[in-house]
């Protein structure tokens, strides 16, 4: 997902418009303080302090930035030209940017505002008598009052037993709910480019009854995703049904398109993932058409790289209800050249002034450089070439160094060709120490999207001081850790890291320390040379038959510390069956398989030597069958073990071998649906995290869990058949998190550690 140098449009969240003499000292002051106390960024203007005839840039910006405007209509509100000008601006922002107006009728009736009667009629008589305002201006003021006066708001004037304190509490809760509803998170370090936002909103915003499908395209790192998120945030208050599908390209590669179809349906229908069962892509298409038909929705499809992804996620225009808005981002303009897309918008690199502002935010934590840094900052901007991600990373790099080092750093940057952004970003990589480089490359090749705390376990065991390293990587803008503690890295930086890994081995796979590409990994597995350089390997088989591993194949990886193996699914097998049958018959001598139930990874896949891969610290082997033989693998140094999505039961022979993993800290059994009972946990004295999320058949946890005195997290979420835990759970003195959402656990679990 891409980061962009743009204003979120939301530096302020709420704009208060009021006539000072009427309400400032009482109601408005109380409301403002209550909003601030609730953590809501509110802007309160004092119209009595203004000079001149026009709204100043600061006030104009405050209105445009706010998600919600609250005009407080008092008896003399319309007598203030400033209040009327503010109101016109609010209406413009509502039409063009999707902002919400929440009017308060303080001591006037809504009809007086709507029809300009009573004191409002007298106010316009006075304005017109002065002859200072054109008929067009007067008409705009009246139109704004009529429109806002017709909106649903709060009529304090007619409220029985009027208690302003109670009302303000209610209003703050309502505002808080509106602000938090349906928005996606944006970076704190953004630079305003209202022209992009305004142009798109002018096209799709006002036409609320028309369906619009728009595509935003541009080079990687230019900020397509962030611009799309801003548009999504501004449109979001107007839609009950919303969905943001992020990083579709990578998510579809790792989890399949069915995963995205599931997320789309569950988000729109507001259901849990487990309640939506999609067995294949075609079934997902039919379900989207049937379940979402007629619904007016807001959809953001982030990082589409294949036209087929559009076909299976949104299909034809008539899949969704009238007035729906779909925003698509893609690096490839050709992907957007389909009948469904109404309009495309190209996002280009930043101009020099905006580039300087963004660089300054990261280098100086301000909107402009210090005076004696201006020339050298402009030099840095020129090197970055207007690419936001490059400006962000270079600015962060410069901020970590003294001024006398800037020339040295920029001279290095100047040697990098302008077109090769990844080479520019490598300057930041070279500034890291060896430990930080190691963790960065691990992340780039394997750990994007992983929980930070789990990844730390492996790095801790090798004494890489990961907490410090991750902090440095964040400060250098090479990685991000989101609100869910998930590790994230920009595509360009990820690609740069992977290219470094390849270049360090002179592009020879056998000499790479990390092999993440599935095709390269399979080819590497077949070669007979020693692979002592390889430390991390990812294998993926797109069919359940997998591969019959011989001892020699793993004996050639003496230094492997990380192994990830993903088996295929039944659906994938049938897609590949015709092309694979002949190959398997020739290579492995297996008979034609005709029954889905017969497809499985071969048992006893190791055939000779025991205790292979002695340096292995992280093992993730998914989709294994219940008769899978793990006994040949060394458990001596294993720290993280994931057997997610496997068909093993509590009677599986492998449990006794896993007990030899005396250093094991994390055991992940997510979605092991055949697990009715847990195994005996005795022997795993150092286990700290036990994850059994979505084990749908689990009904019993073995009492040996009480022996896990170092356990800090137990996750049994969505084990919906689990009714209770053994009393031994109370012996877990280190337990900090007990996650039980989606289970049938008794109310008395409140007495358990949490």
Q: What are the structural domain ranges in the chain?
A: 14-180, 194-346, 352-430, 434-500, 507-751
Dist CA 475 CA 484 (whole Å): 18
Q: Which pair of tokens denotes residue 357?
A: 């502002």
Q: Could you give the C-alpha distances from 93 to 16, 110, 224, 311, 479, in angstroms and in order?
A: 14, 21, 22, 34, 35
Q: Is 48 designated active site?
A: no
Fold agreement (14-180, 194-346): yes
Q: Could you give the C-alpha distances from 738 to 238, 705, 726, in angstroms and in order?
A: 37, 13, 14
What is 507-751's CATH topology?
3.80.10
Please give, one letter per residue, the 3-state secondary structure of 221-277: CCCHHHHHHHHHHHHHHHCCEEEEECCHHHHHHHHCHHHHHHHHHHHHHCCCHHHCC
C-alpha count within 13 angstroms, C-beta hemisphere, residue 626: 11
Strands 14-17 and 68-73: parallel
Proportion of the chain above pLDDT 70, given as a percent: 84
pLDDT classification of 268: cutoffs 50, 70, 90: confident
Exposed e or buried b for every residue in 96-132, given b needs 16+ CB within 10 A? bbbbbbbbbbbbbbbebbbbbeebbeebbeebeeeee
37-53 per-position pLDDT tens digit = 777 889 987 644 444 44
Q: Which CATH architecture has domain 14-180?
A: 3-Layer(aba) Sandwich (3.40)
Instruction: Please check the confidence at residue 294 and state whether its pLDDT lies above 50.
Output: yes
Neighbouring CB atoms inside 10 A of 663's CB total: 17
549-599 per-position pLDDT tens digit = 666 777 888 899 999 988 633 223 323 332 333 333 333 333 333 333 333
Which is the catalytic residue, given 3, 86, 392, 535?
Answer: 86
Please report the pLDDT score of residue 543 as a whole number: 56
pLDDT classification of 455: cutoffs 50, 70, 90: very high
Question: Quick one: which of 412, 409, 471, 480 has its CA closest to 436?
Answer: 471
Q: Which CATH architecture has domain 352-430?
A: Orthogonal Bundle (1.10)
Domain 194-346 in CATH: superfamily? Answer: P-loop containing nucleotide triphosphate hydrolases (3.40.50.300)
* Strand order, beta sheet including 737-739: 514-515, 536-540, 562-566, 618-622, 640-642, 666-668, 689-691, 713-715, 737-739
Dist CA 521 CA 419 (whole Å): 30
Exposed e or buried b for every residue in 286-295, given b needs 16+ CB within 10 A? ebbeeebeee
Q: Which pair of tokens denotes residue 741?
A: 């959402």
Dist CA 539 CA 550 (whole Å): 15
Burial of 399 (0-12, 13-18, 19+ CB in 10 A): middle
Among 189-193, 198-202, 224-228, 595-599, the least confident range = 595-599
Burial of 580 (0-12, 13-18, 19+ CB in 10 A): middle
pLDDT classification of 186: cutoffs 50, 70, 90: low
Paired with 451 in beta bridges are 486
> What integer is the mean pLDDT of 731-744?
92
Listed in sequence order, the DSSP H helices in 476-531 are 491-503, 518-526
């Amino acid at each position: 997902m891409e980061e962009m140098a743009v204003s979120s449009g939301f530096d302020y969240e709420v704009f208060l418009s009021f006539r000072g003499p009427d309400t400032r000292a009482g109601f408005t002051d109380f409301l403002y303080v209550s909003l601030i106390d609730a953590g809501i960024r509110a802007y309160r203007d004092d119209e009595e302090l203004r000079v001149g005839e026009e709204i100043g840039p600061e006030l104009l910006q405050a209105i445009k930035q706010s998600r919600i405007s609250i005009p407080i209509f008092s008896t003399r509100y319309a007598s203030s030209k400033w209040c009327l000008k503010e109101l016109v601006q609010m209406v413009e922002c509502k039409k063009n940017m999707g902002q919400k107006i929440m009017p308060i009728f303080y001591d006037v009736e809504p009809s007086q505002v709507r029809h300009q009667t009573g004191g409002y009629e007298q106010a316009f008589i006075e304005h017109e008598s002065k002859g200072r305002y054109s008929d067009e201006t007067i008409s705009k003021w009246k139109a704004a009052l009529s429109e806002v006066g017709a909106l649903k708001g709060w009529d304090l004037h007619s409220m029985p037993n009027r208690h302003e304190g109670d009302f303000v509490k209610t209003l703050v809760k309502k505002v808080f709910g509106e602000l938090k509803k349906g928005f996606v998170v944006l970076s704190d370090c953004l630079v305003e480019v209202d022209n992009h936002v305004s142009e798109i909103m002018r096209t799709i915003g006002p036409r609320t009854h028309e369906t619009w499908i728009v595509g935003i395209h541009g080079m990687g790192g230019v900020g397509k995703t962030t611009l799309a998120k801003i548009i999504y945030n501004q449109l979001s208050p107007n839609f009950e049904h919303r969905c943001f599908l992020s990083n579709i390209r990578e998510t579809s590669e790792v989890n399949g398109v069915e995963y995205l179809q599931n997320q789309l349906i569950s988000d729109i229908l507001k259901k849990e993932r487990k309640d939506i069962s999609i067995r294949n892509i075609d079934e997902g298409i039919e379900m989207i058409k049937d379940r979402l038909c007629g619904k007016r929705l807001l959809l953001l499809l982030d990082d589409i790289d294949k036209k087929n992804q559009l076909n299976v996620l949104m299909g034809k225009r008539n899949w969704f209800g009238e007035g729906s808005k779909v925003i698509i981002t893609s690096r490839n303009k050709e992907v957007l050249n389909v009948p469904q897309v109404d309009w495309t918008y190209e996002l280009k690199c930043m101009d020099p002034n905006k580039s300087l502002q963004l660089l300054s935010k990261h280098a100086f934590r301000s909107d402009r450089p210090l005076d004696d840094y201006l020339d050298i900052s402009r030099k840095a901007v020129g090197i970055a070439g207007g690419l936001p991600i490059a400006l962000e990373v270079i600015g962060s790099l410069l901020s970590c160094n003294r001024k006398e080092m800037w020339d040295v750093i920029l001279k290095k940057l100047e040697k990098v060709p302008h077109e090769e952004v990844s080479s520019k970003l490598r300057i930041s990589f070279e500034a890291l120490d060896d430990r930080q480089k190691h963790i960065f490359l691990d992340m780039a090749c394997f750990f994007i999207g992983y929980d930070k705390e789990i990844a730390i376990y492996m790095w801790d065991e090798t004494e890489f001081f990961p907490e410090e390293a991750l902090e440095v990587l964040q400060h250098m803008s090479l990685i991000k850790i989101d609100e869910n503690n998930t590790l994230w890295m920009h595509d360009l930086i990820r690609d740069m890291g992977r290219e470094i890994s390849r270049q360090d081995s002179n592009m020879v796979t056998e000499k790479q320390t990390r092999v993440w590409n599935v095709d390269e990994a399979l080819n590497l597995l077949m070669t007979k040379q020693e692979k002592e350089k390889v430390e991390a390997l990812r294998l993926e088989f797109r069919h359940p038959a997998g591969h019959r591993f011989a001892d020699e194949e793993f004996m050639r990886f003496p230094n492997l510390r990380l192994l990830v193996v993903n088996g295929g699914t039944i659906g994938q097998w049938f897609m590949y069956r015709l092309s694979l049958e002949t190959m398997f018959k020739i290579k492995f001598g297996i008979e034609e398989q005709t029954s889905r139930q017969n497809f499985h990874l071969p048992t006893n896949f190791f055939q000779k030597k025991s205790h292979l891969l002695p340096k292995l610290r992280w093992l993730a082997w998914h989709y294994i069958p219940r008769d899978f033989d793990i006994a040949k693998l060394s458990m001596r140094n294993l720290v993280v073990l994931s057997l997610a999505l496997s068909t093993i039961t509590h009677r599986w022979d492998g449990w006794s071998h896993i007990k030899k993993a005396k250093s094991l800290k994390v055991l992940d059994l997510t979605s092991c649906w055949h697990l009715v009972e847990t195994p005996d946990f005795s022997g795993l004295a150092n286990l700290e995290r036990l994850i059994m999320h979505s084990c749908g058949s689990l009904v019993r946890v073995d009492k040996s869990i009480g022996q896990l005195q170092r356990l800090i997290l137990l996750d049994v979420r969505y084990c919906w058949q689990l009714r209770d835990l053994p009393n031994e759970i109370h012996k877990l003195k280190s337990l900090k998190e007990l996650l039980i959402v989606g289970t049938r656990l008794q109310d008395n679990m409140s007495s358990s550690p949490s």
